[in-house]
Amino acid sequence: MSSSEKASDGRRIVIKSLDEIMIMQEANQIVAETLTLLKGQIEPGVTTWDLDKIAEDFCNRKKVIPAFKGYRGFPGSLCVSINEEVVHGIPSRKKKLKKGDIISIDFGVLCRGFFGDSAVTIPVGKVDPEVNRLLDVTRESLNKGITQVVAGNRIADISKAVQGHVESHGFSVVKQFVGHGIGSQLHEAPEIPNFYQGERTARLQAGMVLAIEPMVNMGTHKVKVLRDGWTVITYDKKPSAHFEHSVAVTEDGPLILSLRGK
Ligand code: MG
Ligand code: MG
């Protein structure tokens, strides 16, 4: 299996065989099950540390490796980001969920040599209607992006679909962090920005697998990294949402490997 298609940064995009895509579906289904399991545990008083332990135990039972733990020194299995935290929040015994919070949970595993990666943002009890709208628009923008995962389209088509939906609803997309190809590496070419950077992007072909992950802010698109070296927060401290799916390009259109409830 070889590919001539290169990302706009010149890196080669790895094409996966059908067998490899099936393994990636297995990996991503374990991620999906974990996120569903965690969703059922979200309530006021639960710490992000508790959630991390649940995910780790589940990985042990399924005999897969949590992908983020130790990745460039990241200390947790989950990335857990609350309210104005955008991504890469570190699980902590001190971080207790409160009613009205939103929590983004980003999770990945390594299973039989391949990675799965998916994220959801979950409300803790009843949240402000505007925050609910942020969650809806972010989830919808991911789905709009996935609709563009068609052989012959370009990465730019995904970016435009996500950005167009988000901005038409008055929210902003984070530019400093982007989606990515995924396979035997957690992060592979190509980068998948949630904003348009011109047409000169890779053309999609069957066998590519993409982790599409809009990060959407209620206010400014600007973000900063906290002193822990990981946690990304919005510059204006307004809330942010994050949804992610790993999606294979097939001859029959997009195949969402991390689809929940299968
Ligand atoms: Mg992720
Ligand atoms: Mg990802």
Residues with Cβ within 5 Å of ion ligand 2? 117, 211
Q: How many Å lie between the centroid of ligand 2 and the Cα of residue 117?
A: 6
pLDDT at 1: 43
Q: How many Å lie between the centroid of ligand 2 and the Cα of residue 244?
A: 7
Give the count of beta carbons closer than 10 Å to the beta carbon of residue 135.
21
| CATH code (residue 80) | 3.90.230.10
Ligand nearest to the CA of 247: 2
**Residue at 262 is within a domain:** no
Ligand nearest to the CA of 192: 2
Q: Answer whether residue 129 shows pLDDT above 70.
A: yes
pLDDT at 261: 87
pLDDT tens per residue, range 195-210: 999 999 999 999 999 9
pLDDT at 165: 98
Q: Answer whether residue 2 shows pLDDT above 70.
A: no
Helices within 100-229 (DSSP H only) = 129-147, 155-168
**Residues 243 and 120 sit within 8 Å (Cβ to Cβ):** yes
| Cβ-based neighbours of 60, under 8 Å, separated by 6 or more | none
Q: How many Å lie between the centroid of ligand 1 and the Cα of residue 17?
A: 22
pLDDT tens per residue, range 211-257: 999 999 999 999 999 999 999 999 999 999 999 999 999 999 999 99
Quote the CA–CA distance of 202 and 154 in Å, as a whole number. 6
Phi (first) and psi of residue 259, to 5 degrees: -60, 135
Q: Answer whether residue 3 shows pLDDT above 60.
A: no
The mean pLDDT value for 144-173 works out to 98
Q: How many Å lie between the centroid of ligand 2 and the Cα of residue 15?
A: 18
Number of domains present in the structure of the chain: 1
pLDDT at 193: 98
**Residue at 261 is within a domain:** no
**Residue at 159 is within a domain:** yes
Q: How many Å lie between the centroid of ligand 1 and the Cα of residue 107?
A: 6
Give the count of beta carbons closer than 10 Å to the beta carbon of residue 219.
16
